[in-house]
Amino acid sequence: MTERDDHDTSAPFSKEEVAIIREAVLTPGASVECPRCGSALTLKERVVGETTVALLWVHCTTCRRNLIVRDLPERPPTG
């Protein structure tokens, strides 16, 4: 019998869940919920330059899954 590993890591999102999340984050005004547990997802973007989003880090604090969404469309200039 092996000892229990105290470093509990959650399984990643499935390909289908990734597609659902990606569609939600790319739809303006859409609520972005975790497809596993229904909790609101935390979104943090990394902006490169003044108008381009390089990537978006998506995290579920409830089930502890996360995802990085790349190749996002350019944001319109602000101002």
What does the alpha-carbon distance between residue 49 and residue 58 come to, in Å, rounded to a whole number? 21
Q: Span 2-26, mean pLDDT? A: 77
Strands 66-70 and 42-48, sheet pairing: unpaired
- Whether the CA torsion 41, 59, 67, 11 is positive or negative: it is negative
Most confidently modeled of 5-9, 31-35, 51-55? Answer: 31-35
Confidence at residue 3, expressed as pLDDT on a 0 to 100 scale: 53
Instruction: Look up tokens 């999340």; give the residue.
Output: 21
Instruction: Look up tokens 């101002």; give the residue.
Output: 79
pTM strictly above 0.85: no
